[in-house]
Amino acid sequence: MKCQSDFTWFDACSKNDLTRVQKLKAKHLYTRDPRPEYHSFTGLFHAAHNDAEAVFQYLFQLEFSFNLSYDVIVSAPGISDTAKYKLSAESSVAHLILLRNSLKCYNIYVNYVRMNKCIKQQQNAFGITPLHISAVISRPLGLEYVHQLDLVLADLDSVACDGMTFLMYVCYFGRHEIFFFLMDLLRESNAFQKQFVFAHQADIQRAAVLKQLKEKLVKQFYLKDLNNSDVDVYARSEVQNQKKMGVHSWEKIEISAKIKAFMELLE
């Protein structure tokens, strides 16, 4: 079957037609859609894009069982270093789940990762993580993703496309609910010491961590402009939509005041 020309595979995934997807079997699992608007989409992406729960769960588990490929997105105990598993080549499917606010697919994704005691690596080829996207979008699922501490806490200081950490994204886009959540987390020393890993050094002093975060926040915020950086196309589109709605309306002086207040909280 020439699914590259008739799109049978992608259409079945989009329409949640599990019977057709199973008949097409796994030979098209990593086939990429040649249509310009879906050039990086696999069947799994189409399922996530359309909230096709049955197909998404089937393909997700099928891909995981293969343990194949080049870019490690999920690794689990018992899987060798040479048996790599990927969700896609260019971008994590978690991006799409968050941006589409696909709750059904999100629950499958998170529960499966937890059930298999997986370690999720959130960095993708563009250098921006689902965690950062959750700070950009104003949707409930983005906030829910941040609250999944066992998945995202270690990436609090992960560096995105232009050097901005997650903390800076939260400030830049005015995500107040995430901002105060992180403030409570950083002020709680027990939670910080038990769960937070900064720059892969678990033994670093909490005071030193906060000092570095403050310095990085001030230094990089004024040196970098998110709008001129190589942001993932989905995130960039979402930013533009928010600007049109007036969500992203902070002036530099207002942001400066927010940063000052933030630094005082960390003292």
61/109 Cα distance (integer angstroms): 10
143-176 burial string, b = 16+ CB within 10 Å, else e?
Answer: bebbebeebbbbbbbbbbbbebbbbbbbbbbbbe
Tokens encoding 4: 């590259």
Q: Indicate the SS3 state at residue 75.
A: strand
pLDDT 10s digit of each residue in the chain, 267 long? 445 566 889 999 999 999 999 888 767 777 788 888 887 788 888 888 888 999 988 888 777 665 444 344 444 444 444 334 444 433 467 777 777 778 888 888 777 766 655 545 444 434 456 777 777 777 778 788 777 766 556 566 666 555 566 777 777 677 777 777 776 666 655 554 444 444 334 334 444 555 555 555 544 444 333 333 333 333 444 445 545 544 433 333 344 444 455 555 444
What is the topology classification, in CATH, of domain 1-121?
A: 1.25.40
pTM as predicted: 0.57
Interior angle at CA 262, CA 261 and CA 263, nearest 5:
90
The domain ranges of the chain are 1-121, 129-267
Tokens encoding 135: 């700070």
CB 189 within 8 A of CB 176: no
